[in-house]
Amino acid sequence: MVNENSKKNHATDSEKNIHTDFKNNMTYGEYLKLENILSNQIRLSDHHDEMLFIIIHQTSELWMKLILHELNSAIESIQNDDLSSSFKRLARVSRIQAQIIQSWDVLSTLTPSEYIEFRDSLGQASGFQSYQYRMIEFALGYKTAHILKIYEKNQELHSKLKMAFDSPSIYDVSIQALAKAGFQINPDILSRDFTTSYKEDETVRMAWIEVYRNVEKYWDLYELAEKLVDIEDSLSTWRFRHMKTVERIIGNKVGTGGSSGVNYLKRVIDQRFFPELWDIRTEL
């Protein structure tokens, strides 16, 4: 009994400096603006499972915000010849992607019978309209001008997307890094129109082959290439899990945003961002 009391007293003493008076100090909730965050899960129906649907998509958007934060920083680092800093950013992106992929396991607990009870409440709102997802696509190099029309309702947002649309992708700046390292890259690729999706090029393919065949000499470029492959690999996994979750919940119905639903999601699974990095694996 003495020993138990001694342990309790020790525990109490060790926590005696915990702050409890916050009349003049910022709290955890205030720092994170939790009142703002937690008051925005507003159901449009009275169905229990709509809360799940809202939170999954809101948390995914928060993760995507961080992905963009890291991707844009990595692009800037590569442009400034600071490849080592970009590695940290890109590694973090891969870890974030793992979190988003796992979220589909939670959403897949929603059954077709449950979803149909509140689906009409969504109107034409759809994940297809996620502007952060489009900005991630832009940052990775997939550019589609017609997508911008979705966001004309909000001029400030449209301008933000247009700026991302016009900017070089992470693959564009990686190819520029190859040129800076002395590789002979097609000048048309280096000065290309960044508002178009990248198309594979023979000089870029040859440069990456040389990097992979001389890893020690081009270690930073090799590491950069592998980080890019990690991200594209995870994105394909995310898209596959998205497609299977949608198929599980709504089958082949048309999406709320008007897309073909599962058929559209199947088509984009095999979309490639860094084609040469995949093609050279057959040749090595």
Binding site, by residue number, is: 53-57, 115, 119, 242, 256
Q: Name the residue among 169, 183, 166 with its Cα closest to residue 140.
A: 169
| Cα angle: 166, vertex 173, 282; to 5 degrees | 115
Question: b/e string for 175-192 if b means 16 or more Cβ within 10 A?
Answer: bbbbbebebebeeebeeb
The span from the CA of 121 to the CA of 45, in Å, is: 7
Alpha helices in the chain (DSSP H): 2-14, 28-32, 34-38, 50-79, 83-107, 112-115, 131-140, 155-166, 170-180, 187-190, 202-213, 219-250, 262-269, 275-283
Q: Which residues are annotated as a binding site for heme?
A: 242
Q: Please report, in range form, the residues annotated as the binding site for substrate.
A: 53-57, 115, 119, 256
